[in-house]
Amino acid sequence: MKLVTYVLGGDVRLGAVEGASIIDLNRAYASLQRNGGNPAAQASTDAVVPTDVVKFLALGDRALDAAREAVGYANSLDPDRARRSLTTVSVEDVELLPPVPNPPKIICVARNYAEHAREAGLQISEIPIVFARFADTLVADGGAVIRPIVSEQLDWEGELAVIVGKRGRHIAREVAMDHIAGYSIFNDVTVRDYQFRVTQYTSGKNFAASGPFGPYLVLKDEVPDPHNLEITTEVNGVVKQRGNTSDMIYDLPTILEHISEWIAIEPGDVIATGTPSGVGFKRDPPEFLRPGDEVAVTVSLLGTLTNPVRAEEDSRR
């Protein structure tokens, strides 16, 4: 199942993508409950299939089982009836948000591909190097990445993102994959001069509208091996990065084990797992994203995350 968070009529909803349509999981399950004679259909639905994705993930298998029932029921409906009740809507008629619009935490892994570390002239660490992103930097599929007025060194970094489904602390690598709900695509767009003018990555990684994320949260049962996914980044249709998650230095169990040594992971957390080689600042000559460009990251089984680049308006006085 591919989950999306979207806006329709001012309401934020949670849906499952079926071709060019989205099934509203809450509305579909409520309709199923009403047809089954449940007098408290909406209340019981809100308790098991909430419209907030973080609350949904926190419910675990109970919510996932209900969501699958909702999808089956919606697919059995007359299409016109489903559209009239907004149980099914067209992807083109909604505004997509990041699949987890307000993650409790966003943790990014640096230097997780040996070739990328080498091209950057940096050492390979014995343990994962991590840094934090802020949720208000996120950009949905189709949303604009903003090149800031203070720098022209805006660079791309296509990555696999992990979405946590189960809380845990001091997680053993043997059970680490049980804590994953699914996967998505991240573009860790970076302002390079701000990143490297100090030893901490925070400022260079947290400019406004610099974190494309989406378009889907693909549940893990649709991704048999997350350690064998092709990652491709294109700028204006030209391939800039091509890699495979099999080349990660630290696999997902290692990353989860390491992070959970010092902080609990929880449902809705997003972990960006690092980028392959081919970033712009190490090209000869260096290349950076410019207003009018389009950057697209494709990960096999997960789709394509596409974003235009726009210039920041100068609001300084």
pLDDT tens-digit profile of 191-241?
999 998 988 889 999 999 999 999 999 999 999 999 999 999 999 999 999
Structure tokens at 263: 């902080």
Q: What is the pLDDT of residue 114?
A: 85
Max Cα separation, the chain? 67
Q: Compute the distance between CA of residue 28 and CA of residue 69 in angstroms, rounded to an integer.
A: 9
Q: Is the pLDDT of residue 260 over 90?
A: yes
Helix (H, G, I), strand (E, B) or coil at 181: strand
pTM for the full predicted model:
0.96
Q: Does domain 106-311 have CATH number 3.90.850.10?
A: yes
Assess whether pLDDT exceeds 70 at residue 315: no
Query: Which string of b and e fits 59-93 if b means at least 16 CB within 10 Å?
Result: beeebbebbebbbebbeebeeeebeeebbbbebee
The pLDDT of residue 81 is 86
Q: How confident is the model at residue 301 (pLDDT cuts 50, 70, 90)?
A: very high
Q: Give the position of tokens 């591909």.
A: 113
Closest CA to 283 of 113, 111, 153, 124: 153
Percent of the chain with pLDDT over 70: 97
Answer yes or no: are the C-beta atoms of 310 and 291 closer than 8 Å.
Answer: yes
Cα-based distances in Å from 302 to 43, 230, 232? 33, 10, 12
Residue 218's H or E segment, with its range, is strand 211-219
CA 239 to each of CA 107, 160, 243, 294, 313: distance values in angstroms, whole numbers, following the listed order:
26, 17, 11, 12, 29
- Scanning 36-142, the segments in alpha helix (DSSP H) are 41-48, 53-58, 61-76, 79-84, 114-119
Average pLDDT on 85-107 reads 96
For every residue of 284-297, DSSP letters joined together read SS-----TT-EEEE
The average pLDDT across 262-288 equals 96
SS3 210: coil
Question: CATH 2.30.30.230: which residues of the chain?
Answer: 2-96
- Contact residues for 140 (Cβ-Cβ < 8 A; gap 6+): 95, 96, 97, 98, 212, 213, 214, 215
CA 279 – CA 287 distance, rounded (Å)? 8
- What is the structure's pLDDT at 316? 59
Residue 115: per-residue pLDDT = 79
Return d(Cα 71, Cα 49) in angstroms, integer: 12
CA distance 268 to 6: 16
> How confident is the model over 274-278, as a mean pLDDT?
95
* Rounded CA separation 259/2 (Å): 26
Kindly report the backbone phi and psi dihedral angles of residue 112, in degrees, each rounded to the nearest multiple of 5, phi listed first. -100, 5
Give dist(CA 304, CA 4) in Å, integer.
14
Q: What is the CATH number assigned to the segment(s) 2-96? A: 2.30.30.230
Q: Give the pLDDT band (50/70/90) at residue 4.
A: very high
Q: What is the pLDDT of residue 122?
A: 67
Residues 6+ apart with CB under 8 A from 198: none
Quick check: 317 pLDDT over 60?
Answer: no
**Average pLDDT over all residues of the chain:** 95
- Distance between CA 17 and CA 89 in Å, rounded? 10
Q: Return d(Cα 214, Cα 117) in angstroms, integer.
A: 25
Cβ atoms of 49 and 37 within 8 Å: the answer is no
Beta bridge partners of 301: none
Q: Which of 5-14, 82-91, 155-164, 167-176 has the lowest mean pLDDT?
A: 82-91
pLDDT at 314 over 70: no
| 114-141 per-position pLDDT tens digit | 877 677 676 778 899 999 999 999 999 9
- Ranges of CATH 3.90.850.10 domains, the chain: 106-311
